């Protein structure tokens, strides 16, 4: 056990580039070695010391790093989902506004050429309303993933780039969110009449002469666009907490993110 701890301490004391190269090679072996509570406690203790030494002007422990990161990500995911789930959260935001599916862009163009701008606009509006309606349900999934985060994950993310936490969430929740979102999006599309308007314009388009009939998967498209938007907004909140002292609303956030 002692040799394992010394090896990990030695790696942590190297430069960032050297750490990355060595850790990539030894990750599997290290994971196998760290299999007892006694070893984990010892490693955490040494990690705490190193973190304090590297942040002597603003020391924080591994536990504090994990707690602060979870707090920041919960705050960011809550604010992000609240922002996009309100009326016009998608529709009036050019960064995340959902247009016609790419393969159906010619449908939009054809409708406008024959004076059906209103119908085309109604489709776009209802697609965005469906995403707004469904997005609020993502909170619980994000919070669940955040609470399962390990101390090792947290330290890496705190020391990572400005959206390291959001990238972690994306890797851990995308599959679950997609599965959970699909039926919710379907319900929301029906609820705001998006399905109805979509069917009307697609029926009209597919009856036009000399056009290639298309039938995009509307649920899949809106689900993906909604998830992309959620991660974009959470990433913005994470960057704000990392860069703007005013956004760090607690002493713990100020302590951990005040000086990386």
In terms of Cβ atoms closer than 10 Å to its own Cβ (0-12, 13-18, 19+), residue 79 is middle
Question: Cα–Cα distance between 97 and 158 in angstroms, integer?
Answer: 31
pLDDT in single tens digits along all 260 residues of the chain = 444 444 444 444 444 444 445 445 444 444 554 455 555 555 555 555 544 544 445 566 777 777 877 887 888 888 888 989 999 999 999 999 999 999 888 889 988 988 999 999 999 999 999 999 988 888 888 888 888 888 788 878 877 888 988 898 888 888 888 888 888 899 999 999 999 999 999 888 888 888 888 888 899 999 999 999 999 998 888 888 777 665 566 666 677 666 54
- Where are the alpha helices (H) located in the chain, listed in sequence order? 2-12, 16-33, 37-54, 62-85, 105-113, 117-135, 139-147, 151-158, 164-191, 194-206, 218-243, 251-257
Domain boundaries along the sequence of the chain: 1-54, 61-257
């Amino acid at each position: 056990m002692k040799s394992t701890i010394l090896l990990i301490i030695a790696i942590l004391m190297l430069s960032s580039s050297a750490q990355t190269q060595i850790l990539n090679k030894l990750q599997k072996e290290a994971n196998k070695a760290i299999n007892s509570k006694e070893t984990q406690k010892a490693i955490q203790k040494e990690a705490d010391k190193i973190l304090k030494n590297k942040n002597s002007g603003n020391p924080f422990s591994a536990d504090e790093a994990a707690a602060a990161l979870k707090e920041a990500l919960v705050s960011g995911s809550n604010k992000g989902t609240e922002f996009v789930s309100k009326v016009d959260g998608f529709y009036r935001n050019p960064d995340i506004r959902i247009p016609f599916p790419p393969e159906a862009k010619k449908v939009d163009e054809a409708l406008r050429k024959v004076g059906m701008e209103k119908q085309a606009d109604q489709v776009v509006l209802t697609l965005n309303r469906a995403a707004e309606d469904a997005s609020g349900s993502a909170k619980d999934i994000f919070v669940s993933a955040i609470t399962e985060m390990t101390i090792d994950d947290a330290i890496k993310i705190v020391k990572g780039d400005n959206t390291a936490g959001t990238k972690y969430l994306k890797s851990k929740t995308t599959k679950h969110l997609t599965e959970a979102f699909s039926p919710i999006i379907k319900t929301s599309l029906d609820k705001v009449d998006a399905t109805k308007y979509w069917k009307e314009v697609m029926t009209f388009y597919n009856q036009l002469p000399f056009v290639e009939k298309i039938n995009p998967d509307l649920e899949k498209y809106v689900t993906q666009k909604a998830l992309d938007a959620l991660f974009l907004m959470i990433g913005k909140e994470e960057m704000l907490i990392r860069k703007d002292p005013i956004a760090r609303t607690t002493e713990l956030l100020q302590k951990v993110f005040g000086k990386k």
